[in-house]
C-alpha cells in the first residue's frame, strides 16, 4: 500500500525494514550484561502440560528474559532514576523522520572503541532536520544478532556526541550496541544522564539499543515506526521498523 507523506513523498507500507533482533530460548540468543540465556518453559501443574508436543492441548509457555540484556529494547530515563518511570507512559507517538548513518568507531590506546561527535558531524552536516538518529557501527557482522557481549568492552558513544544531539534536536537514538555508555564505567552512565538530562530536568527522549541493520539497507532518510510492547517498565522489548521515503 502506498502511503503519501506529502505531495512529493510516500512510503510503501508493504516494504518494511525490521531493525529488531528476535527473542528465542537458549544459548543462540543475543546476550549482554552477564545475564543467562532466556528461557521458554511450558507451564506444568495439576495435570496440565503447556506443550502440545508433550501431550498437552495447547502451547502455554512462561518466558523468562531481561529487556536490557536479551535483545532489541527501548528505554526511557527511568533506567537511571530512583523513581519507577515507565517507557510505555513516555512514548506516546510512534512515527518519526529518521536519519540512518554508518560509522566506524575510533580505537583508543587503551583498546576502547568510541564514536565521537566529529565522526557523526561529518556525516550529518548535509542532513535536513530529523527526529531520530539510527547508528550502524562498522564492521557490521551478522553475529550482532547472536553475540554474547558480556565482558567484551563493546564500542560506545563519547560524551561529546551530546552536543550534536542537542543541536539537531534528536529525540530518539537507536544504535546496534548494548549501550551508549562504556560497559564498565563505575556506574556513571554519563551519556545516559546527559541525554535524558538526569537529575536536573528529565525529558521524554528514548534510547533503543541492540538493533541490527542489514548491509543491504543504505544510509539516508527513512520513516521510523518505533513499535514497542506495552510494558510498564523503564525498558521494553521493541521493534523499530523503517520505511524508505520515495519520491513521486
**Residue 195 pLDDT grade (very low, low, confident, very high; cuts 50, 70, 90):** very high
pLDDT for 54: 96
| Percent of the chain predicted with pLDDT > 90 | 97
Average pLDDT over residues 127-151: 95
| Predicted pLDDT at 157 | 98
Q: Is the pLDDT confidence value at 20 over 90? A: yes
Terminal Cα distance for the chain, rounded = 14
Arithmetic mean of pLDDT, 123-142: 93
pLDDT by residue (tens digit) across 211-243?
A: 999 999 999 999 999 999 999 999 999 999 999
3-state secondary structure 119-176: HHHHHHCCCCCCCEEEEEECCCCHHHHCCECCCCCCCEECCCHHHHHHHHCCCEEEEC
Backbone φ and ψ of 89, nearest 5°: -90, -15
User: Cα-Cα-Cα-Cα dihedral of 232, 177, 155, 90, to 10°?
Assistant: -30
Supply the mean pLDDT for the chain. 96
Give the pLDDT score at 184: 96
**Structural Rg of the chain based on CA atoms:** 19
Say if residue 126's pLDDT is above 90.
no
* Per-residue pLDDT at 117 exceeds 90: yes
Report the pLDDT value the prediction gives residue 43, as an integer from 0 to 100.
98
pLDDT at 246: 96
C-alpha cell belonging to residue 239: 521493534
Quick count: other Cβ atoms within 10 Å of Cβ 133? 23
CB 63 within 8 A of CB 22: no
Q: Residue 24: pLDDT band by 50, 70, 90 thresholds?
A: very high
Residues 119-131 have a mean pLDDT of 90
pLDDT at 232: 98
Q: What is the largest CA-CA distance in the chain?
A: 65
Supply the pLDDT for residue 125: 84
CA distance 96 to 131: 6
Alpha-carbon distance of 148 to 37, in angstroms, equals 10
Say how far apart CA 133 and CA 145 lie, in whole Å: 20
Residue with cell 557523526: 120
Say how many residues make up the chain. Answer: 248
Question: 142-151: per-residue pLDDT in tens?
Answer: 999 999 999 9
Has domain 2-21+68-247 been given CATH number 3.30.930.10?
no
State pLDDT tens for residues 57-92: 999 999 999 999 999 999 999 999 999 999 999 999
Using CA atoms, how far apart are residues 148 and 151, in angstroms rounded to an integer? 9
Q: Is the pLDDT of residue 108 over 90?
A: yes
Model confidence at 128, pLDDT cuts 50, 70, 90, reads confident
Q: Residue 3: is its pLDDT beyond 90?
A: yes
Whether omega before 166 lies within 30 degrees of 0, making that bond cis, reads: no
Q: What is the average per-residue pLDDT within 99-121? A: 96
Query: For the chain, what are the domain ranges?
Result: 2-21+68-247
Amino acid at each position: 500500500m502506498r502511503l503519501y507523506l506529502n505531495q512529493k513523498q510516500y512510503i510503501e507500507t508493504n516494504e518494511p525494514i525490521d531493525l529488531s533482533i528476535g527473542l528465542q530460548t537458549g544459548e543462540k540468543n543475543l546476550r549482554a550484561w552477564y545475564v543467562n540465556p532466556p528461557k521458554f518453559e511450558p507451564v506444568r501443574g495439576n495435570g496440565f502440560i503447556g506443550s502440545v508436543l508433550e501431550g498437552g492441548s495447547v502451547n502455554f509457555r512462561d518466558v523468562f528474559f531481561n529487556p536490557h540484556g536479551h535483545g532489541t529494547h527501548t528505554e526511557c530515563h527511568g533506567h537511571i532514576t530512583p523513581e519507577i518511570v515507565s517507557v510505555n507512559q513516555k512514548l506516546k507517538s510512534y512515527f518519526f523522520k529518521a536519519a540512518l548513518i554508518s560509522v566506524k568507531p575510533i580505537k583508543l590506546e587503551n583498546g576502547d572503541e568510541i564514536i565521537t561527535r566529529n565522526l557523526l558531524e561529518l556525516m550529518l552536516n548535509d542532513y535536513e532536520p530529523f527526529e531520530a538518529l539510527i547508528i550502524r557501527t562498522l564492521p557490521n557482522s551478522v553475529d550482532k544478532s547472536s553475540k554474547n557481549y558480556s565482558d567484551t568492552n563493546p564500542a560506545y558513544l563519547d560524551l561529546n556526541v551530546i552536543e550534536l544531539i542537542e543541536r539537531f534536536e534528536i529525540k530518539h537514538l537507536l544504535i546496534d550496541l548494548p549501550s551508549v555508555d562504556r560497559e564498565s564505567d563505575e556506574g556513571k552512565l554519563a551519556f545516559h544522564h546527559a541525554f535524558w538530562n538526569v537529575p536536573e530536568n528529565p525529558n521524554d527522549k528514548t534510547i533503543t539499543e541492540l538493533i541490527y541493520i542489514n548491509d543491504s539497507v543504505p544510509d539516508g532518510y527513512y520513516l521510523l515506526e518505533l513499535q514497542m510492547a506495552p510494558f510498564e517498565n523503564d525498558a521494553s522489548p521493541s521493534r523499530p521498523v523503517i520505511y524508505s521515503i520515495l519520491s513521486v
